[in-house]
Amino acid sequence: MVKQVNLALLGAGYWGAKLATEYIVAHKHVDNFNFIGIVEPNKERLAYIGHRLNLPTSMLFHNVNDCLANPEISAIHIATPNETHYQIATEALTRHKDILLEKPMALNTRDAFKLARLSESSGNVLLVGHIFRFNAALSQAKNILKNQDIGNLRYLHLFWLDNLNPIPDRDIIFDLLPHPVDIINYLTDEWPSTIYARSLMHDTPYHKKIEDVGFVIINLPDGTLAGIDLSWIQAGMKERIILITGSEASIKIDALSQDITIYRSSGKTNIPITSNNSMQSMITHFVNCISGIDNPNNSSLVGALTVNVLSSARKSITENTEVRIHE
């Protein structure tokens, strides 16, 4: 008998609102899945999202503890502020809830691995919201690399750029770097051996400087080099670009439009991609992992190792030195 998944979404911020829209769709189309509703302590924000999505008040909750204590809720998606992830996920796992936890899963390596171990001991699913593992263009790029269609991998360059209002008390490394780090692992099946990171701070209307630009250089164990550009002050359109250079050709991936172009000395080729809804793919995967149909693609171990890289990047910035992660 397939397990019924009754899920509540925790958090109705910018990303939580997007997720809520997708969960409403999944409620109609994903087998053995039931969307219980949204939990948001800010009552004004909760009322706004409820009105915007035309949800009944019976699907709107403001008390997180009541949600975690409710035995009818078997799964939760945690889309609350980063600093709350560890505490909420710990409490949820002790109550044997299956969890989809937004990245980063914790703010330090120790807490991240404690969550991974707790999910093992509780017997519950704990996945991390590394959504680009479900992106059709990146899946195709992974196959291209596996088949060595561009020859031997030489280096990667990733651009994670945006133009946002100043974000006080936000860490650009833990906010923007998780996806590029995870994508590098997804494409290469390698984790960094060393990392060097620098950041820039600029004045804001809050009369306080914030860190809004970052540059990261990663060495992989096989000698491959990866560079990552991060920015919250990039004028123009949001960019999520991955450039991959091999011995015989190069690839440009636009992860937002899900386009791939291969460049060779003879010219360029646009690779046909059937684009997908990455959110829906991740939600379906989560339900299937709970039901025992799928093996985790975005496991807690992947999430914890990513946090380890983020922590090493922060250490590199603080100490202005290259940090060795593992041999």
Note the residue count of the chain: 327
Which domains does the chain carry?
5-131+279-299 (3.40.50.720), 132-276+309-324 (3.30.360.10)
Selection from 163, 162, 166 nearest residue 206 by Cα: 166
- Assess contact for 127 and 273: CB atoms under 8 A: no
For residue 313, give every residue at least 6 positions away whose Cβ sits within 8 Å of its Cβ, in sequence order, or none: 173, 177, 195, 197, 216, 323
Q: Which H/E stretch holds residue 105?
A: none
- Dihedral of alpha carbons 13, 14, 18, 21, sign: positive
User: Would you write out the chain's pLDDT as a tens digit for each of its 327 residues?
Assistant: 567 999 999 999 999 999 999 999 999 999 999 999 999 999 999 999 999 999 999 999 999 999 999 999 999 999 999 999 999 999 999 999 999 999 999 999 999 999 999 999 999 999 999 999 999 999 999 999 999 999 999 999 999 999 988 777 789 999 999 999 999 999 999 999 999 999 998 887 766 788 999 999 999 999 999 999 999 999 988 999 999 999 999 999 999 999 999 999 999 999 999 999 999 999 999 999 999 999 999 999 999 999 999 999 999 999 999 999 975
Q: What is the pTM of this model?
A: 0.96
**Distance (Å, whole) CA 307 – CA 107:** 7
- Assess contact for 219 and 180: CB atoms under 8 A: no
Please provide the DSSP assignment of 62-96 as one string: --HHHHHH-TT--EEEE-S-GGGHHHHHHHHHHTT
Selection from 270, 262, 222, 230 nearest residue 246 by Cα: 262
